[in-house]
Amino acid sequence: MKNLPVTLALLLAVAISPSNANPPFSGTIFVNKAIITDQDPTSFVRIENSGKGRRQMFDRRGPGRVDVEAHLFIAHFDDGRKIEVQVNPEFSADEALAEAKKYLPVIGQIPGTLRQDVETVWIHKGNHGFGGGNRNLLIHTDMGESYIKSGILAETFVHEAAHTSLDARHARDKDWLAAQEKDPGFISGYAKSNPKREDVAESFLLWIALRHKPDRVDAKLKDTIEKTIPNRMAYFDNLKLDLHPMRPRQEKAAN
């Protein structure tokens, strides 16, 4: 490459660098539907009906933020955390309660670290993707039924809650950015296309799988994860994370 013009040489170096290799997956929520199963424990304890109240909620169907008289519930978890569930009044009171009860036990299955910044859950009808961030988890129930049918509802909540509780702390952390730079590539096309917005969430789900559900990860997947994002895995290993109910509360991860 030494005889090429400098600009062309740099372009070629970027093109063939390991970080530009094709990611092994399109999106990690589809990789293994058994990372969390119905038989796994949940930290969800009970739901309390708190009537109705005026709330602003984000609705992907448009126009974005909507101001509605929402059905309200308080979800209680065994680690002392509480989440207000706000349900669009397009549901009846009984329907709203049923929808909340459908999703809360699964939200309780994700690690406490991922619920630490979740203050509210928004529930709407519609066939639109779930969302995370804004100290919230966003649910559209038609899409929710699709996730349930595909067996990836819990995995989707891990991804979205990572946006809510991990992104602000880690996505621009110098050590995370260094891990990105050192790793051979991105774990998914979604992460590669959105390195600042999606890489933490895409990578964290498979860290959970490999480090804390290893009996559910086959040799091929293990090899793919370890070869593609070893430095990202080490970054998560070095965090002190609350993984309850996946692990007993006294066994916080500090690998």
38 vs 132: CA distance, rounded Å: 22
Question: Residue 58: CB partners within 8 Å, gap ≥ 6?
Answer: 64, 65, 66, 122, 131, 134, 136, 138
In this prediction the pTM is: 0.90
Q: Token match 């969390």: residue?
A: 36
pLDDT digits 0-9 by tens, 31-60: 999 999 999 999 999 999 999 999 999 999
Domains along the chain with CATH numbers? 44-165 (3.40.30), 169-255 (no CATH)
User: 3-class DSSP state for residue 64?
Assistant: strand
According to DSSP, the β-strands at 131-133 and 136-140 are antiparallel
Residue 12 has pLDDT above 90, yes or no: no
User: Among 143, 18, 122, which residue's Cα sits nearest to residue 68?
Assistant: 122
State residue 21's pLDDT score.
Answer: 77
Distance separating alpha carbons of residues 82 and 78, to the nearest angstrom: 9
**What does the alpha-carbon distance between residue 202 and residue 159 come to, in Å, rounded to a whole number?**
7
